Homo-oligomer: A and B are copies of this chain.
């Protein structure tokens, strides 16, 4: 049978036969075992190459109880969340590090009964859960069932025992706010995020602490839902309630973009009249026409780090429960 003609995938058995060794030995070289002589390794490698052999995943999983699959679960399945650049970047990071391994990624939008059962019943070796919202739909104790690392601090009771990577949202928001204070602004407002999201809560706390610490008035507050249009509404509301504001710390770049469009529309100069600091540093923030000053959050790297940590957990290594990544204030044109 010429390799070009065969339609069915070659098996380990055939590789072994071609190399003149046993199936066990062929298996050992496929798996990089050290107890194989150099000559045998070469022969088997040649056979693998020649037959274009790829191990059958199902057979492998069945035999060694590893699936070589890891799940990416996004508990909330609204389009808004999924289209979030932050989420896109995290997924990118996850995909990037997984690409260098033999693991495959399964995608789960929502945390349905079916998904939970899938996760708990040995179909994946581990899970990555990315969620902005607090309501983790019963995913809290998932970590007790299989290795899990969360993107963002989980708000639930199990958080002390869960693994997660995050930034220090309060400190980061504080730094962004401080930039405004240090540049002489005194009537600094904030457009906060949803009151039920840990990241939003922490950023708001960071802003408040910094404002009060500077002896300024922390009353100029409004909220959005992290979307651009909510930023538009929030900015209008802010302007209506406190026409005197000279700066605003916005809890997400998308909302900041919305806020900027309102200021532009109303002919309010940025940063001369009102300075704006965002949060995230999405790609759009760096655009020549935007040049948004913002708190940089390493989203893609967070995805990479989550994945690397999960991989370590899968190798049986011990890691700390929390991994906090660095943020920086990126000063551009709006503040």
Contacts and interface: CB of A to CB of B under 8 A. Distances in A.
B118 A104 contact: yes
Contact of A67 (B58, B265, B287, B300): B58
Given A79-B89, A82-B92, A284 B229 contact: yes
Given A54-B117, A112-B99, A117-B54, A283 B105 contact: no
B105 A106 contact: yes
Contacts of A289: 229, 232-233
A145 B232 CA distance: 49
Nearest to A82: B88
Contact of A287 (B104, B229, B284): B229
Contact of A300 (B79, B85, B118): B79
A264 B107 CA distance: 40
A9 to B, nearest CB: 6
Contacts of A69: 106
Interface string A45-59: 000000000101111
Interface string A223-234: 000011100110
Interface in A79-119: 79-80, 82-85, 88-89, 91-92, 95-96, 99, 104-110, 112, 114, 117-118
Taking the full assembly, how many copies of this chain does it contain?
A: 2
A231 to B, nearest CB: 10
A35 interface: no
A271 B156 CA distance: 49
B91 A109 contact: yes
A264 to B, nearest CB: 4
Interface string A284-326: 1001111000000000100000000000000000000000000
Interface residues of A, number: 54
Contacts of A59: 58, 62
B110 A56 contact: no
A327 interface: no
A107 B106 contact: yes
A72 interface: yes
A67 B9 CA distance: 15
B92 A85 contact: no
Contacts of A88: 79, 82-83
A208 to B, nearest CB: 28
A286 to B, nearest CB: 9
Contacts of A228: 284
A272 to B, nearest CB: 15
When A and B form their complex, which 9 residue pairs have the shortest distance between CB atoms, in order from nearest?
A58-B61, A83-B88, A229-B287, A95-B109, A58-B62, A82-B88, A107-B107, A54-B121, A83-B85
11 contacts: A57-B61, A58-B59, A58-B61, A82-B88, A83-B83, A83-B84, A83-B88, A95-B108, A96-B109, A229-B290, A232-B287
